[in-house]
Amino acid sequence: MFLAKCLSVLKTEWMRQRYVLVVMGMLGMINAFTMRACLNVAITQMTAPPSQPGGENKTSDDSCPFDPPAAGSDSSGSAVQKEYPFNWDSEQQGLILGAFYIGYIFTHIPGGQIADRYGGKHTLGLGILATAICTFLTPAACKLGDVAGAVIVRILMGLGEGVTFPAIFVLLAKWAPERERSLMGTIVLAGPQVGTLVGNALSGFFLDWFVWETTFYVYGGLGLAWWFFWCFLCYSDPNQHPFIGDKELKYLNDNVTGLKEQDNEKEHVKTPWKSILTSMPVLALITTEVGHDWGFYTMVTDLPKYMSDVQHFKISSNGTMSALPFICMWISSMVLSATGDWITSKRVISNTLLRKIFTTIGSVGPGAFLLWASYAGCNKYFVVALFCIGMTTMGAFYPGMRVNALDLSPRHAGTIGALMNGTGALAGVAAPYAIGLIAPNGLMSEWQTVFIINFAIMGITNVAFIIWGSGERQWWDDPHGKPPGHVEDPEDDIKAVKGPAMASTAM
């Protein structure tokens, strides 16, 4: 009771609860991705890189030179006689890094269904809580079970985090008005970039000054702290929120697509699985998501390895250099999303064309610039600049296909979000493992092959969205909607009108 009274001061008209939810949702996604990404940097100090066989650095024409060693250091800038706690080869590292996505895939559909039916608040909260606990357990699992232990804890972490994206889509479908949809959606859905850049940058610092286990304990603790505040501050539905102002509540009920319809339904609307799974706009969205995730997870999971194995950045600067592209992506996603909302409000072009333009920029740009970076040689900072430009263009994905599930079906956004992210997560499994097989020696020519494949996948999957993508609400999202080409029987209207009258006469 005391806590409820304290929180009741939040019920003011100036405190917009939809913005509180957006900020907390963004922080939740940041936490989710710092916990997911910290291993990507930590693993460079947990096991010897492929360019250091037998503890000695070797440089060839296919690998960049090491920075001059500091006093008391070896040629990589690390302490003399550096010892690594684990002896994992490139293929094993790829398996461990990709194991997260094995679990991640399986809880998307259940998470989407649970969030659609019971609300996104606790679905999201419990998912991040489970991820935080697994993050804490990662060092112990690695020490006790070696490769098997690391794989198991990462799969469990993925199972917990698999519900987060579907829950976010459900929450946004309830809280985001159409004219604010691109920006609100991007602020939350861009949390992964911020989480990745924070995870990369701070992990480099922690690894430089503390033991490698520190990264997992710090990020796990932050995840627990977020969960505590989330439980008290945020709610699944505006009409269930005890602190929301009357004006904001009316505004949301008037401007959030389908909100009144959903709240007025006495029974849960069944998921139209056949219509969803045969919808070309949905299938195009899922296909494009796979291409986006292949490129994004290549950068999230393996950019620190590329910076270490090929460019030979010291660990203290590796995290920072790996984070810079994601800073650029985050900034561009905010700017482009605000631009997208302005275009939507002015009706300059159709919503469908808007989504297709931004999605194409976000597909072709990253593929091209990341490929160029792999051919830029050993000019380290030019390589980083190209990575930054490529990830800046990837920011266009967010006002493009990333919020598209909310366009197609506000009512079933959690289910569609689960399908697109769950299928896209297959790329999270395949990309790290494939890179481990393609680039076992950390050579420049091997990584060029990696980025050629990346360019091809991102470009080809984008074609599906150009042809079949849509930015309009689909007919099956409305329980009373009719498929295109459906011809109404005039007798139905007569029966609908006469039915009640005839019934009352009979009485």
Q: Is the pTM of this model over 0.75?
A: no
Q: What confidence score (pLDDT) does residue 423 get? A: 86
Q: Which of 270, 296, 253 is nearest to 390 (CA)?
A: 296
Say if 15-48+89-261 and 270-480 have the same CATH topology: yes
In whole angstroms, how far apart are CA 146 and each of 42, 88, 143, 309, 434? 15, 9, 6, 22, 21
pLDDT one-digit tens code per residue, 239-248: 888 888 888 8
Quote the CA–CA distance of 180 and 451 in Å, as a whole number: 35
Q: What is the pLDDT of residues 331-387, one digit of tens each?
A: 888 888 888 888 877 888 888 999 999 999 999 999 999 899 888 888 888 888 998
pLDDT tens-digit series, residues 216-270: 999 999 999 999 999 988 888 888 888 888 888 888 888 876 665 555 554 456 7
Which of 258, 325, 232 is closest to 24 using CA atoms?
232
86: which strand partners? 47
Instruction: Please calculate the CA angle 197-397-120 and round it to the nearest 5 degrees.
Output: 75
Reading the block at residue 428, the tokens are 């999270």
Mean per-residue pLDDT for 72-79?
44
**Cβ-contact 73, 315 below 8 angstroms:** no
d(CA 433, CA 476): 38
CB atoms under 10 Å from CB of 6, counted, come to 10
Q: What is the pLDDT of residue 372?
A: 92
Dihedral angle sign, alpha carbons of residues 30, 32, 33, 38:
positive
Say if residues 152 and 191 touch (Cβ distance below 8 Å): no
Q: Give the model's pLDDT for residue 132.
A: 94
CA distance 218 to 203: 10
Neighbours of 504 (CB within 10 A): 8
CA 337 to chain centre: 16
Extents of the domains making up the chain: 15-48+89-261, 270-480
Instruction: Give the model's confidence band at 506: pLDDT under 50 very low, under 70 low, under 90 confident, else very high.
Output: very low
Please give the Cα distance from 44 to 146 (Å, whole number): 16
Predicted confidence band of residue 205 (pLDDT cuts 50, 70, 90): confident
For residue 331, what is the DSSP state? H
Q: Could you report the per-residue pLDDT of 112-135, keeping only the tens digit for each? A: 788 878 888 999 999 999 999 999
Q: What is the mean pLDDT of the chain?
A: 79
Could you say which of 1.20.1250.20, 3.40.50.300, 3.40.630.30, 3.40.50.1970 is the CATH number of the domain covering 15-48+89-261?
A: 1.20.1250.20
| Higher per-residue pLDDT: 58 or 150 | 150
Phi and psi, residue 413, nearest 5°? -60, -35
Q: Which CATH architecture has domain 270-480?
A: Up-down Bundle (1.20)
Quick one: CA dihedral 238, 244, 246, 251, positive or negative? negative
Rg (CA), the chain: 24
Q: Are 49 and 304 in contact (CB under 8 A)?
A: no
